[in-house]
Amino acid sequence: MFKGIDISSSALVAQRQRMNTIAGNIAAVNVSYDPASDKEPYYRRIVTFQADTESLDQEKTGVGVQYHVKIDTDTPLRKTYDPGHPHADQDGNVTYPNIDMVNEFVNAMEAGRSYEANISAMQMSKEMFNTSLRILA
Protein backbone atom coordinates (compact mmCIF):
# COMPACT_ATOMS: atom_id res chain seq x y z
CA MET A 1 0.00 0.00 0.00
CA PHE A 2 2.86 2.37 0.76
CA LYS A 3 4.58 1.70 -2.58
CA GLY A 4 2.27 4.11 -4.38
CA ILE A 5 2.91 6.84 -1.81
CA ASP A 6 6.68 6.31 -1.99
CA ILE A 7 6.68 6.47 -5.78
CA SER A 8 4.48 9.57 -5.85
CA SER A 9 6.56 11.33 -3.19
CA SER A 10 9.76 10.75 -5.17
CA ALA A 11 7.99 12.13 -8.25
CA LEU A 12 6.89 15.19 -6.25
CA VAL A 13 10.50 15.88 -5.27
CA ALA A 14 11.60 15.51 -8.90
CA GLN A 15 8.86 17.85 -10.17
CA ARG A 16 9.71 20.40 -7.48
CA GLN A 17 13.32 20.36 -8.68
CA ARG A 18 12.08 20.81 -12.23
CA MET A 19 10.02 23.86 -11.18
CA ASN A 20 13.01 25.32 -9.32
CA THR A 21 15.22 24.83 -12.38
CA ILE A 22 12.64 26.46 -14.66
CA ALA A 23 12.36 29.40 -12.25
CA GLY A 24 16.13 29.79 -12.36
CA ASN A 25 16.08 29.76 -16.15
CA ILE A 26 13.36 32.41 -16.27
CA ALA A 27 15.25 34.56 -13.76
CA ALA A 28 18.41 34.37 -15.87
CA VAL A 29 16.84 35.05 -19.26
CA ASN A 30 18.45 38.49 -19.56
CA VAL A 31 21.77 37.99 -17.77
CA SER A 32 24.88 38.20 -19.88
CA TYR A 33 26.99 35.87 -17.75
CA ASP A 34 26.64 33.00 -15.32
CA PRO A 35 26.67 34.48 -11.81
CA ALA A 36 28.51 31.39 -10.57
CA SER A 37 31.49 31.89 -12.91
CA ASP A 38 31.29 35.66 -13.63
CA LYS A 39 32.88 35.12 -17.06
CA GLU A 40 31.08 32.30 -18.85
CA PRO A 41 27.62 32.81 -20.34
CA TYR A 42 24.64 31.28 -18.53
CA TYR A 43 23.32 28.14 -20.19
CA ARG A 44 19.79 26.85 -19.80
CA ARG A 45 19.34 24.05 -17.27
CA ILE A 46 17.21 21.01 -18.07
CA VAL A 47 15.91 18.38 -15.65
CA THR A 48 15.77 14.81 -16.89
CA PHE A 49 14.01 11.91 -15.18
CA GLN A 50 14.63 8.20 -14.97
CA ALA A 51 13.56 5.27 -12.85
CA ASP A 52 15.41 5.18 -9.53
CA THR A 53 16.36 1.53 -9.41
CA GLU A 54 19.40 2.05 -7.18
CA SER A 55 18.25 3.69 -3.95
CA LEU A 56 14.83 2.12 -3.48
CA ASP A 57 14.26 -1.50 -2.61
CA GLN A 58 11.90 -2.72 -5.33
CA GLU A 59 10.58 -5.53 -3.14
CA LYS A 60 9.50 -3.19 -0.34
CA THR A 61 8.93 0.26 -1.77
CA GLY A 62 8.81 0.07 -5.55
CA VAL A 63 10.73 2.08 -8.09
CA GLY A 64 10.77 5.84 -7.65
CA VAL A 65 11.88 8.75 -9.80
CA GLN A 66 15.42 10.02 -10.04
CA TYR A 67 16.30 13.37 -11.61
CA HIS A 68 19.42 14.99 -13.03
CA VAL A 69 19.98 18.65 -13.82
CA LYS A 70 21.87 19.03 -17.07
CA ILE A 71 23.21 22.08 -18.88
CA ASP A 72 21.90 22.61 -22.42
CA THR A 73 25.01 23.34 -24.46
CA ASP A 74 23.44 22.14 -27.73
CA THR A 75 21.17 25.15 -28.25
CA PRO A 76 23.11 28.19 -29.48
CA LEU A 77 23.33 31.26 -27.27
CA ARG A 78 21.55 34.50 -28.23
CA LYS A 79 23.70 37.38 -29.44
CA THR A 80 22.48 40.97 -29.34
CA TYR A 81 24.29 44.00 -30.70
CA ASP A 82 24.85 46.41 -27.78
CA PRO A 83 28.33 47.98 -27.97
CA GLY A 84 27.82 50.03 -24.77
CA HIS A 85 27.17 46.95 -22.59
CA PRO A 86 29.99 46.09 -20.17
CA HIS A 87 29.99 42.45 -21.37
CA ALA A 88 30.06 43.26 -25.09
CA ASP A 89 32.71 41.49 -27.14
CA GLN A 90 35.08 43.21 -29.60
CA ASP A 91 32.29 43.29 -32.24
CA GLY A 92 29.81 44.92 -29.81
CA ASN A 93 27.72 41.76 -29.34
CA VAL A 94 26.46 40.64 -25.94
CA THR A 95 25.87 36.93 -25.39
CA TYR A 96 22.65 36.00 -23.61
CA PRO A 97 21.36 32.59 -22.48
CA ASN A 98 19.74 30.07 -24.80
CA ILE A 99 16.39 30.39 -23.00
CA ASP A 100 13.05 30.56 -24.81
CA MET A 101 10.38 31.97 -22.48
CA VAL A 102 7.54 30.16 -24.29
CA ASN A 103 9.23 26.79 -23.78
CA GLU A 104 9.94 27.60 -20.14
CA PHE A 105 6.32 28.53 -19.44
CA VAL A 106 5.03 25.40 -21.20
CA ASN A 107 7.48 23.28 -19.19
CA ALA A 108 6.38 25.03 -15.99
CA MET A 109 2.72 24.28 -16.75
CA GLU A 110 3.57 20.65 -17.49
CA ALA A 111 5.55 20.34 -14.26
CA GLY A 112 2.68 21.89 -12.30
CA ARG A 113 0.19 19.44 -13.81
CA SER A 114 2.50 16.52 -13.09
CA TYR A 115 2.84 17.71 -9.49
CA GLU A 116 -0.96 17.86 -9.17
CA ALA A 117 -1.32 14.39 -10.70
CA ASN A 118 1.13 12.92 -8.18
CA ILE A 119 -0.72 14.57 -5.30
CA SER A 120 -3.96 13.03 -6.61
CA ALA A 121 -2.27 9.63 -6.84
CA MET A 122 -1.09 9.96 -3.23
CA GLN A 123 -4.61 10.89 -2.10
CA MET A 124 -6.06 7.89 -3.91
CA SER A 125 -3.51 5.59 -2.27
CA LYS A 126 -4.41 7.05 1.11
CA GLU A 127 -8.12 6.57 0.47
CA MET A 128 -7.59 2.95 -0.59
CA PHE A 129 -5.55 2.33 2.57
CA ASN A 130 -8.27 3.90 4.75
CA THR A 131 -10.98 1.89 3.00
CA SER A 132 -9.01 -1.31 3.54
CA LEU A 133 -8.70 -0.55 7.23
CA ARG A 134 -12.46 0.11 7.51
CA ILE A 135 -13.24 -3.19 5.79
CA LEU A 136 -10.91 -5.07 8.13
CA ALA A 137 -12.30 -3.40 11.24
Domain ranges of the chain: 2-136
Terminal-residue alpha carbon distance, the chain: 17
Q: Round to whole Å and give the CA distance between 52 and 67.
A: 8
CA 23, CA 105: separation in Å to the nearest integer? 9
- As a residue count, the chain comes to 137
pLDDT value of residue 81: 93
**pLDDT tens column, 3-42:** 778 888 889 999 999 999 999 999 999 888 877 776 788 8
Give yes or no for residue 56 having a pLDDT over 60: no
In this prediction, residues 51-64 reach a mean pLDDT of: 68
Amino acid identity of residue 5, one-letter, is I
**Section 111-126 average pLDDT:** 91
Mean pLDDT, the chain, whole residue set: 87
**pLDDT-derived band at 111, boundaries 50, 70, 90:** very high
